RNA sequence: GCCGCUAUAGUGUAAGUGGUUAACACGCCGCCCUCUCAAGGCGGAGAGUACGGGUUCGAGCCCCGUUAGCGGUACCA
């Protein structure tokens, strides 16, 4: 068997959405697993909607996910002549014919209804074969040469059964009588999808076609084309679709940016985390294992373990906190916790720069502090963006104060005296450490006969504006003596 | 209309060739951690496997039917 060659063939619709990303990933994993080649082909034959910017959107997504192709990007539009030549060959061999039926005008919204109406009517009257299917070749050629517009259709056998084996869905059968003579070339000379994919896949020597389940039934048409063109039929594997919440089809139009992979990049996902999450949508290694590195995914991946039923991707744009699938966020958090600090820190600094919180000394004389602080914060963050938002008080004095936190922790009147006193005691410490700060605070609490918790929680809000966060003395060490003291004094204004 | 695909807790998945009280993760709820938490630890609720038949000593796994969802059926991709 020839070595594996697979392709991901998106149309350039502006950005890569999670469904496409999952398809790309499975192709990539399969290629890696079998030592094959992963090829990217842009299906830009829908000329009206293709632009460089749209192509770039796809490329950005693929690249960020780390799924760079071994070959490509190739552009389908550059093979138009091959597509036409293939159709011409089928005409010459009598496997296709010219159809002079005038093109009927359809607009996108009503195609489906019109088609159903037509088919219903046809069910009553019975199907009639295309009147041009068997007209003499000479006559057809003469009409074409005289300039009469004609589409080219494939001659589909009138009886018999089409069969192929799908690596995910198993054996597939379809009666030829259920397949109409498909149009290969439009009457304006434009090649159609089914012809283009097959010609390209043959030319690129694709061995395994791995794509969305929406192509499953049309595969029979393509098999017919492979056979007509005398080419070897590749293996097919169709992947279950990914649905939006409510089990509806994922659509860029309706769901917008939440389904674009660049959104995940921009909102602080690690590519490895998204890859890991996507891999589990429609596939599992068989047991309880969920967190897997790329190499583990490659090692464990197999099409036999791919599911047949569609998976729901549970995003929710209106929820500020759980804006996307909670499990994806959880998994990203796991990656934030476990990624080696020297790899994580540069990703964090990217987000700080974006928020205007970055200082060059963080990678110079303050790099040790920076690493420690990132390490402290990451335990409870789920996205890289959290470092610039929730983590803001650690990088600037200009941070927001949560009113609920103030109400909860700074409402006690005694704090008006206690906080400045705490500030003074911390200021006088010769060595400012977790231990010395804690000792100072606790002795103050003892002397005043109050619980240390009162001071600790008040200090947390005074220092960070929040009611949640790391251990109090760890926060102090991260903020260091001067900023700790200043913020405790300033907090009196909040009381 | 016709053809096809699918169906396990809210979500993602387990449960090789039918065999103990259907498992795990996320989410949810509670408790603990008494310095908080959206962190961590522990525990709990939640499906009887879409529904109805059948085969079998025994079915989530096999068969038939129904329903629902989805896909295809285009001179869309």
**Rounded distance in angstroms from the CA atom of residue A303 to the C1' atom of nucleotide B24:** 22
Cβ of A103 near strand B (under 7 Å)? The reply is yes
CATH number for the domain including A479?
1.10.10.350
**Rounded distance in angstroms from the CA atom of residue A9 to the C1' atom of nucleotide B42:** 49
**Rounded distance in angstroms from the CA atom of residue A315 to the C1' atom of nucleotide B11:** 10
Q: Bridge-partner residues for A212, per DSSP?
A: A239
**Rounded distance in angstroms from the CA atom of residue A167 to the C1' atom of nucleotide B19:** 29
Name the nucleotide with the smallest C1'–CA separation from A179: B73
CATH number for the domain including A33?
3.40.50.620
Residue A108's pLDDT is 67
Same domain, A476 and A425: yes
- pLDDT at residue A37 tops 90: yes
Same domain, A181 and A86: yes
Cβ of A248 near strand B (under 7 Å)? The reply is yes
**A 124-163, residues with C-beta < 7 Å of strand B:** 149-151
Residue A47's pLDDT is 60
Same domain, A71 and A203: yes
**Rounded distance in angstroms from the CA atom of residue A286 to the C1' atom of nucleotide B20:** 22
- pLDDT at residue A475 tops 90: yes
Q: Give how many domains chain A has, as a whole number.
A: 5
Overall average pLDDT of the A213-222 stretch: 95
Contacts of A54 (CB under 8 A, 6+ apart): A12, A13, A14, A15
- pLDDT at residue A388 tops 60: yes
- pLDDT at residue A113 tops 60: yes
Residue A463's pLDDT is 96
The dihedral sign for the CA sequence A199, A203, A208, A211: negative
Residue A112's pLDDT is 81
The pLDDT tens digits for A221-234 are: 999 999 999 999 99
Same domain, A13 and A141: no
Same domain, A238 and A278: no
Cβ of A451 near strand B (under 7 Å)? The reply is yes
Domain with A235 in it? 5-75+194-243
- Nearest protein residue, CA measured to C1' of B24: A288
Cβ of A480 near strand B (under 7 Å)? The reply is no
Contacts of A377 (CB under 8 A, 6+ apart): A386, A387, A390, A391, A394, A470
Q: Bridge-partner residues for A153, per DSSP?
A: A97, A183
Name the nucleotide with the smallest C1'–CA separation from A386: B38
Same domain, A112 and A164: yes
**Rounded distance in angstroms from the CA atom of residue A304 to the C1' atom of nucleotide B71:** 21
Long-range contacts of A321-329 (CB under 8 A, 24+ apart): A323/A258, A323/A267, A324/A258, A324/A264, A325/A277, A327/A277, A328/A269, A328/A273, A328/A274, A328/A277, A329/A382, A329/A383
- pLDDT at residue A459 tops 70: yes
CATH number for the domain including A326?
1.10.1160.10
**A 60-89, residues with C-beta < 7 Å of strand B:** none
Same domain, A297 and A438: no
Cβ of A115 near strand B (under 7 Å)? The reply is yes
CATH number for the domain including A358?
1.10.8
Categorize the per-residue pLDDT at A15 as very low, low, confident or very high, splitting at 50, 70 and 90: confident
What's A94-127 look like in SS3? Answer: CCEEEECCCCCCCCCCCHHHHHHHHHHHHHHHCC
Cβ neighbour number for residue A164 with a 10 Å cutoff: 17
Q: What is the mean pLDDT of chain A?
A: 92
Q: Bridge-partner residues for A172, per DSSP?
A: A164
Name the nucleotide with the smallest C1'–CA separation from A123: B1
Cβ of A187 near strand B (under 7 Å)? The reply is yes
The pLDDT tens digits for A179-212 are: 999 999 999 999 999 999 999 999 999 999 999 9
The pLDDT tens digits for A258-315 are: 999 999 999 999 999 999 999 999 999 988 899 999 999 999 999 999 999 999 999 9
Q: Tell me whether residue A451 is one of the annotated catalytic residues.
A: no
The pLDDT tens digits for A122-135 are: 877 777 888 899 99
Overall average pLDDT of the A480-495 stretch: 90
Cβ of A249 near strand B (under 7 Å)? The reply is yes
- pLDDT at residue A49 tops 70: no
- pLDDT at residue A479 tops 90: yes
Residue A342's pLDDT is 95
**Rounded distance in angstroms from the CA atom of residue A208 to the C1' atom of nucleotide B69:** 29
Overall average pLDDT of the A83-110 stretch: 89
Categorize the per-residue pLDDT at A2 as very low, low, confident or very high, splitting at 50, 70 and 90: low
Same domain, A320 and A278: yes
Same domain, A271 and A330: yes
Name the nucleotide with the smallest C1'–CA separation from A180: B73
Considering the candidates A252, A308, A353, A408, report the single residue annotated as catalytic. Answer: A252
Same domain, A333 and A351: no
Q: Pick from A322, A337, A352: which residue ends a domain?
A: A337
Same domain, A57 and A202: yes
Overall average pLDDT of the A60-69 stretch: 96
User: Which residue has better confidence, A103 or A273?
Assistant: A273
Cβ of A217 near strand B (under 7 Å)? The reply is yes
- pLDDT at residue A74 tops 80: yes
Strands annotated E in A205-258: 208-212, 235-239, 242-244, 248-249
Q: Pick from A337, A361, A384: which residue ends a domain?
A: A337
Categorize the per-residue pLDDT at A317 as very low, low, confident or very high, splitting at 50, 70 and 90: confident
Q: Pick from A185, A202, A233: which residue ends a domain?
A: A185
Instruction: Report the percent of chain A where pLDDT is more than 90.
Output: 79
Same domain, A332 and A358: no
Residue A424's pLDDT is 94
The pLDDT tens digits for A235-265 are: 999 999 999 998 888 877 788 889 999 999 9
């Amino acid at each position: 068997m020839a070595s594996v060659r697979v392709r991901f063939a998106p149309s350039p619709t502006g950005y890569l959405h999670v469904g496409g990303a999952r398809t790309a990933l499975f192709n990539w994993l399969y290629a890696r697993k079998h030592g094959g080649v992963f090829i990217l082909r842009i299906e830009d034959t829908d000329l009206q909607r293709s632009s460089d910017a749209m192509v770039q959107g796809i490329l950005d997504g693929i690249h960020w996910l780390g799924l760079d192709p071994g070959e490509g990007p190739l552009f389908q539009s550059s093979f138009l002549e091959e597509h036409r030549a293939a159709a011409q060959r089928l005409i010459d061999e009598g496997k296709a014919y010219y159809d002079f039926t005038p093109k009927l005008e359809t607009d996108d919204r009503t195609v489906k209804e019109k088609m159903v109406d037509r088919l219903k009517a046809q069910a009553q009257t019975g199907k009639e074969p295309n009147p041009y299917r068997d007209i003499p070749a000479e006559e057809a050629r003469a009409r074409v040469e005289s300039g009469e517009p004609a589409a080219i259709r494939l001659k589909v056998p009138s009886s018999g059964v089409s069969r192929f084996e799908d690596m995910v869905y198993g054996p597939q059968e379809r009666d030829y009588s259920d397949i109409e003579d498909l149009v290969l070339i439009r009457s304006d000379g434009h090649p159609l999808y089914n012809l283009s994919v097959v010609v390209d896949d043959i030319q690129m020597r694709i061995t395994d076609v791995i794509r969305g389940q929406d192509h499953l039934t049309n595969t029979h048409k393509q098999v017919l084309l492979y056979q007509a063109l005398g080419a070897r039929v590749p293996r097919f594997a169709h992947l279950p679709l990914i649905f939006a919440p409510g089990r509806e089809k994922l659509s860029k139009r309706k769901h917008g940016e939440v389904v674009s992979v660049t959104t995940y990049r921009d909102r602080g996902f690690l590519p490895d985390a998204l890859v890991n999450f996507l891999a589990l949508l429609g596939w599992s290694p068989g047991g309880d294992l969920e967190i897997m590195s790329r190499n583990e995914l490659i090692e464990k991946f197999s099409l036999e373990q791919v599911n047949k039923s569609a998976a729901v991707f549970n995003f929710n744009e209106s929820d500020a906190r759980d804006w996307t699938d909670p499990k994806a966020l959880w998994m990203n958090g796991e990656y934030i916790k476990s990624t080696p600090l020297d790899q994580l820190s540069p990703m964090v600094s990217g987000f700080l720069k974006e928020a205007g919180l970055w200082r060059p000394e963080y990678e110079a004389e303050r790099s040790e502090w920076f690493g420690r602080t990132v390490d402290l914060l990451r335990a409870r963050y789920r996205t890289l963006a959290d470092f610039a938002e929730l983590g803001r008080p650690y990088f600037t004095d200009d941070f927001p104060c949560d009113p609920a936190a103030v109400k909860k922790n700074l409402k006690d009147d005694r704090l008006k005296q206690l906080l400045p006193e705490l500030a003074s005691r911390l200021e006088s410490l010769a060595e400012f450490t977790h231990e010395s700060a804690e000792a100072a605070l606790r002795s103050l609490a003892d002397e005043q006969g109050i619980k240390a918790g009162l001071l600790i929680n008040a200090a947390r809000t005074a220092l960070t504006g929040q009611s949640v966060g790391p251990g109090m003395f760890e926060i102090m060490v991260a903020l260091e003596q001067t900023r700790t003291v200043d913020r405790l004094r300033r907090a009196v204004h909040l009381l």
